[in-house]
Chain A
């Protein structure tokens, strides 16, 4: 009973926070905000390993380390290096042997037109939703953004990738004579 109420409170607040903050963000930054929310929530649940996040953001630093022989010819040096560095994270250690064993299956991901919708093999249990992003980053960096968008939907729901439409009437209610609305316009946009 109380748990239900708490969950409701959490969701209600998150939704309202997102709506109200989004009003003041540039379009390009809205998804970053959603992603930050996801990351924060997963950090609070104790599920986020900072090393994994660091890899996602930077791809790790190539120090000319020798990562051994590549298991298949379609893997180039850059992909192989990133994959190995991703697997340096604690929870990813077991992914490398798994990848080597299933390299044929992962070739499908590498060649897929829609890698963000690709289903990982069932026995890739070491990968949670976030770690799958690391693999995507290594294999298909071109589709990382749609993958992150899918991750946000999976974590907190579709609402958070569809920023609320601009409604002047409701925003106007938040303004007062001492807290005015300020519009930052770019050519071609008209808030009215």
Chain B
């Protein structure tokens, strides 16, 4: 079952990838980076807990204080990175939105072509046929 929403998203992906490959790359990078920072954050948190757990006299242990200091600096850094990533993501989404009207219209036309089957059952057109035409016409 093909839904209007799903098809619109798919077409949007196609048109943006063709029209603005940098943007799609950027988006992919962003997803990777955000996964990486999330992993770092989890590590840091684990480290903090571990240190707190192991050390008896927290104020007397220079090593523990250093580790906590480091962790605090790192988590600040990560928070900053995530902030920045959010801005970039919004930028990318805004750019993508510009192409949305084309995707919406094209998805509508797909369902229009599907209706031809009511006129004659021979008139059946597949989604790959339709998407292929769409890709060719962007080029």
**Chain A residues at the B interface, C-beta cutoff of 8 Å:** 2, 5-6, 9-10, 12-17, 20-21, 24-26, 29, 32-33, 36-37, 39-41, 43-44, 184
Contact = CB atoms under 8 A, between A and B. Distances in A.
A2 B100 CA distance: 12
Contact of B137 (A2, A16, A26, A184): A16
**B interface: dominant SS:** helix
Given A13-B102, A43-B108, 12 more contacts: A6-B99, A9-B138, A13-B137, A16-B137, A17-B113, A20-B129, A21-B125, A24-B123, A26-B120, A29-B116, A40-B111, A44-B108
Contacts of A6: 98-99, 101-102
A189 B104 CA distance: 39
Contacts, number: 66
B49 interface: no
A17 B102 contact: no
Interface in B83-115: 98-99, 101-102, 104-106, 108-109, 111-113, 115
- Interface range for B: 20 to 34
Main secondary structure of the interface of A (DSSP, over half): helix
B119 interface: yes
B133 interface: yes
Highest count of chain A CB atoms <10 Å: which of B104, B125, B133, B137: B137
